[in-house]
Amino acid sequence: MAMKGFIRKFKPLEILSEEQFQAIHKATLDVLQNVGIRIEHKRALKLLESHDCQVDYGNMRAKFPPGLVEECLRKCPSSFRVKARDPQKDLIMGGNTIYFGPAPGKQTVNLDTWEPREATRKEAYDGLTILDALPNVHFLPSYTPYFGFEGLPPVMRIPEICAAKIRNSTKWFFDGYSNDCEIFIIQMAQAMGIDIMCSMLASPPLTFYGEAVECAFRMAEAGMAGRVLPGGVCGATAPVTIAGSTVTANAEILAGIVLLQLMRPGMRIEVKDFTYPQNMRTGSPAFANIGVSLHGVVFSQIWRRYGIPAGMTTAYPSSKIPDFQCGYEKAIIALIAALSGINLQLVQGAIHGELTHHPVQAIIDDDLVGMIGRFLEGVEVSDETIALDLIAQVGPIPGEYLSKEHTRKWWRKEQFIPQVADTLTYPEWMKKGKKSCLHYAKEKMEEILAKHKPTPLTESQERDIEKILEDARKFYKEKGML
Amino acid sequence: MKEEILKGLQKSLRDYDQEGCVAGAKKAIQEGVDPLRAIDALTEVIQEVGDGFSRGELFLPDLIAAGATMAGAMAELTAALKKKGLERKSLGKVVIGTVFGDIHSIGKDMVSTLMTASGFSVHDLGIDVKAERFVEAVKQDRPDILAMSALLTTTAKEQKVVIEALKREGLRSQVKVIVGGGAIDQAFASGIGADGYASTAPEAVTLVKSLIGR
């Protein structure tokens, strides 16, 4: 058993011709071989050097022979399982399956003023309860639902949020790294008997800081799965063009893959696009710019060809409230991602970029994801669905289909039924106070919080988690960071 | 003739032609154009760029290119001014830089260009600037404003190091310190004892004007 996710039953959307694919692939290998990647980690550089990479220790740059890159790509499994707290919620990444997860935010928002503010501990835990309950949230990413909560010292944010995810959800999750916190993330995963991935994030252009590489070594040594991300902003830390920024992003990821496969051959690796165009007025990432989708579809096509499970850049909106803009931004990005054949996509809950998240938005987005998921399942064509006998039996007017068993059997499979969308008639809508999906989502949030109780940890599991958190606090106190 | 040289200088800045702009500045000096007039001519164009940016007609790539183009010519012209023992009148003097350990220049460059466009005289110390270098510039330039940028949470604390160094040298009361960058917010700025914080480059200009009462 595993988390069901959605299975795409038709060909994925591909926008590169074979010639275009080859040109980008060739240029990527060229960058790896001739420009190289700066890797600020001596042990990693030594490992690369012992596998025929040309290493310049002075500027910490490694150049990768194409043969090594291709060999390491072949060592990556094209599909693999990651274990969740509840075995029925394991993910099997790869193939035609897409899993959706929430898009986290640094802070929450006030639902009346829409202004951002830091979440309380209770809000963070409640947010996880909601995500645990939502049917189309298949896993939880790092920093979810918030990057931390009130009163947490910065170094304890990732460990505490990791513990919160373990306590309030049985779904699979992955996490971030910072200041060696992956030591404690791995310990928590081992205590729970689950798989964890910590992201190995490049610092573009063409650089990995030591911290990311150290985290990768720890993940590999613990037998966990790996996750490599680029992180460029097109026009600032990556070329402004989709083609050029695909080359640098893929060169960064491939360098990460080579390292991980040399550390632990056959290691399970997922890659994620994390590339935004630049907002040319503010210098911030241009969230929800259509460039995100263009880059993502190209990314999806190339990594499917490379045979490695891939995730697309998060469907972060640029809007600040759950309005028309927020809706179309998320819908377009999430739908295109799904059509492109990507394996993981973050959607639910983000309000503005990665700055704000709210459970109410996550509930609205869960309908969006469900709608997309239903589309991916495509159209079943069989004798039963064509229903030739039934059509003959019903015939012209006064024939009808509402009373037929065929309708009762099939309508729920054919349609998607949203949880909080307004689907009323005008008279009903006016009578019920002209409510929108936002009103229904607020009601739904209260309902979930009243009814849904995440499966609690056993006493000994809770002791283990608390002990690891205590060890983390001690570790940072000794380092003078707490 | 001198008018033509100035027009050529302005055109090279409008075209973001860095070499042309430096050559134009050198030519102006050679031909005896008053360096102050040449600086005014360049400032006029930078103001156009700043206004275009504020109106949403020009964007970051324009702002960065204009700033970089002007910098080379300004170096020539201020050196010529110094030789004559002259100084340029401005709304105020600003020393700016990205703190030690941090090599992010874009935000700092935006602020620097918009301040220049608004009539301030800006001394840009660049990126990865050590506390001693900031202190030295405050001693030498006697600026109205010291502006520091930090993008990383790991380098933000360096802004405090600079403020503490200013205190040790007895310079803190002589200069208003403003901070900004991706890792900074108002609470952090207040916490380290800065005089002001702005979240965007145009806000930084407004902030500086209010701090020095212009």
The set of residues, in sequence order, having a beta carbon less than 8 Å from that of A405 and lying 6+ positions away, is: none
B148 and B99 assigned to the same domain: yes
Do both B43 and B101 map to the same domain?
Answer: no
**In this complex, which of A154, A280, A282 lies closest to B61 when CB atoms are compared?**
A280
Answer yes or no: is B178 within a domain. Answer: yes
Domain co-membership, B44 together with B63: yes
The reply to whether B79 and B97 lie within a common domain is no
Q: In this predicted structure, what is the pLDDT of residue B182? A: 83
Phi, psi of B147 (to 5 degrees): -115, 130
CA distances from A321 to A100, A324, A330 (A): 22, 9, 12
Domain membership flag for residue A368: yes
Contact A283 B61 (CB under 8 A): no
Quote the pLDDT of residue A464: 98
Return the structure tokens found at A140: 């939880």
Q: Which residues of B touch A236 (CB under 8 A)?
A: 106
Per the listing, tokens 């609205």 go with A364
Examine the domain organization and report whether A314 and A397 are in the same domain.
Answer: no
Task: Decide which of B83, B108, B126 is a domain's last residue.
Answer: B83
A226 and A252 co-located in one domain: yes
Q: Is residue B122 part of a domain?
A: yes
- Please report, in tens digits, the pLDDT of each residue of chain A (482 residues total): 899 999 999 999 999 999 999 999 999 999 999 999 999 999 999 999 999 999 999 999 999 999 999 999 999 999 999 999 999 999 999 999 999 999 999 999 999 999 999 999 999 999 999 999 999 999 999 999 999 999 999 899 999 999 999 999 999 999 999 899 999 999 999 999 999 998 899 999 999 999 999 999 999 999 999 999 998 999 999 999 999 999 999 999 999 999 999 999 999 999 999 999 999 988 889 999 999 999 999 999 999 999 999 999 999 999 999 999 999 999 999 999 999 999 999 999 999 999 999 999 999 999 999 999 999 999 999 999 999 999 999 999 999 999 999 999 999 999 999 999 999 999 999 999 999 999 999 999 999 999 999 999 999 999 999 999 999 999 999 999 88
Q: Which residues of B touch A280 (CB under 8 A)?
A: 59-61
B88, part of any domain: no
Report, in angstroms and rounded to the nearest whole number, the Rg of chain B calculated over CA atoms: 17
Q: What is the mean predicted confidence (pLDDT) over B44-52? A: 91
* Residues of the domain holding B106: 93-211
Q: Which amino acid is at A323?
A: D
For residue B66, which residues of chain A lie inside 8 Å, CB to CB?
none
If residue B35 lies in a helix (H) or strand (E), which one and from where to where?
helix B35-54
Instruction: Check A283 against B107: CB less than 8 A apart.
Output: yes
- Cα of B36 vs its chain's centroid, Å: 17
Shortest alpha-carbon distance between residue A126 and chain B (Å):
27
Q: Looking at the predicted structure, is the pLDDT value of residue B214 above 70?
A: no
Same domain, residue pair B15 and B33: yes
CA distance A283 to chain B (A): 7
Residue of A nearest to B109 (CA): A283
**A283 with B60: Cβ contact below 8 A:** yes
Report the C-alpha gap between A120 and A431 in whole angstroms. 37
Q: How many domains does chain A have?
A: 2
Tell me: do A318 and A295 sit in the same domain: yes
User: Closest to A283 (Cβ–Cβ): which among B56, B110, B153?
Assistant: B110
Helix (H, G, I), strand (E, B) or coil at A101: strand
- Both A155 and A214 in one domain: the answer is yes
3-state secondary structure of B55: coil
Between chains, do A283 and B59 touch, taking CB under 8 Å as contact?
no
Q: What is the DSSP letter of A96?
A: T
Instruction: Please determine, for residue B73, whether its predicted confidence score (pLDDT) is greater than 80.
Output: yes
- Structural domain contains residue B198: yes
Domain stops at, among B25, B58, B83: B83
B82: amino acid identity, one letter: K
Tell me the Cα Rg of chain A: 24
B182: nearest CA partner in chain A: A284
**A212 within some domain:** yes
Same domain (yes/no): A233, A93:
yes
Is the CB of residue B56 less than 8 Å away from at least one CB of chain A? yes
Q: Is residue A473 part of a domain?
A: no
- Residue A331: the pLDDT is 97
Q: Are residues B106 and B45 in the same domain?
A: no
Interface contact B110, partner A, CB < 8 A: yes
Output the six-digit token pair for B78.
């201020």
B75 shares its domain with B108? no
- CATH number, domain of A279, equals 3.20.20.480
Residue B112 lies in a domain: yes
- What's the structural domain count of chain B? 2
| Mutation target vs A (from B102, B103, B106; most A CBs, 10 A cutoff) | B106
Contacts of A446 (CB under 8 A, 6+ apart): none
Indicate whether B54 and B110 sit together in one domain: no
Q: Are strands B145-149 and B176-180 parallel, antiparallel or unpaired?
A: parallel
> Which CATH number is B74's domain given?
1.10.1240.10
Q: Are residues B97 and B71 in the same domain?
A: no
Full residue range of the structural domain in which residue A177 is found? 6-15+74-376
Same-domain check for residues B98 and B58 = no
Q: Which of B28, B48, B83 is the last residue of a domain?
A: B83
Please report which confidence band the pLDDT of residue B202 belongs to, taking 50, 70 and 90 as the band edges: confident
Q: A160 and A79: one domain?
A: yes
CB atoms inside a 10 Å sphere around CB B150: 26
Q: What is the largest CA-CA distance in chain A?
A: 85
**Cβ B59–A281 below 8 Å, yes or no?**
yes
**Structural domain ending residue among the three candidates A351, A376, A401:** A376
User: Does one domain contain both A370 and A337?
Assistant: yes
Q: Which residues of A touch B52 (CB under 8 A)?
A: none
Residues of A with CB under 8 A from a CB of B: 154, 235-236, 278, 280-283
* SS3 assignment, position B54: helix
A34 Cβ neighbours under 8 A, 6+ residues apart: A63
